[in-house]
């Protein structure tokens, strides 16, 4: 898993069938990457719902959050609509798990992303990362602490 001080690998993933998100387009803004195993699973559903509720706090710290899993863009769109999410979920679908692998958080045995969080600063460096047990919602405290530390820089 990539750790603090490492330049975040750039990527380009679909947020919708016709919209791609490039990490490099967010230089100058803090970015939160929330890798998770699968849409619709109970822990993932709770985790993404929590981040949806935390959006105003993330925005206060000039941060954009993205959920990332190996599910397809169509699965993400249905999940976003059902859960009323207001942030993009990115499809690390084909080549399967390529971005998760680049960040060191792909579970080869299960064929899905591990539950991992990254906070990336405005220069594109990872300032905080956390690997959570799959069955545990990592919450938002670590993300907020990392963003608050960036505000003090």
**Which residues form the catalytic set?**
44
Cα R_g (the chain), whole angstroms:
14
Residues found in the chain: 153
Q: Are 48 and 82 in contact (CB under 8 A)?
A: no
Among the residues of the chain, which ranges form H helices? 42-53, 55-60, 73-83, 98-102, 141-151
What per-residue string of b and e applies to 40-57 under the rule 16 or more CB within 10 Å gives b? eeebbbebbeebbebeee
Place of tokens 């898993």: 1
DSSP state of 93: T
């Amino acid at each position: 898993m990539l750790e603090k001080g490492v330049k975040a690998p750039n990527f380009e993933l679909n947020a919708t069938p016709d919209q791609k998100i490039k990490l490099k387009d967010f230089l100058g803004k803090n970015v939160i990457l929330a890798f998770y195993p699968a849409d619709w699973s109970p822990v993932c559903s709770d985790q993404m719902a929590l981040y949806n509720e935390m959006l105003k706090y993330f925005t206060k710290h000039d941060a954009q959050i993205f959920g990332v899993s190996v599910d397809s863009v169509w699965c993400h769109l249905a999940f976003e609509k059902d859960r009323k999410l207001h942030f993009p979920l990115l499809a690390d679908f084909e080549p399967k798990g390529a971005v998760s692998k680049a960040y060191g958080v792909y579970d080869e045995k299960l064929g899905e992303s591990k539950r991992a969080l990254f906070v990336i600063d405005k220069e594109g460096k990872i300032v905080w990362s956390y690997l959570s047990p799959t069955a545990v919602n990592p919450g938002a405290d670590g993300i907020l602490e990392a963003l608050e530390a960036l505000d003090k820089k």
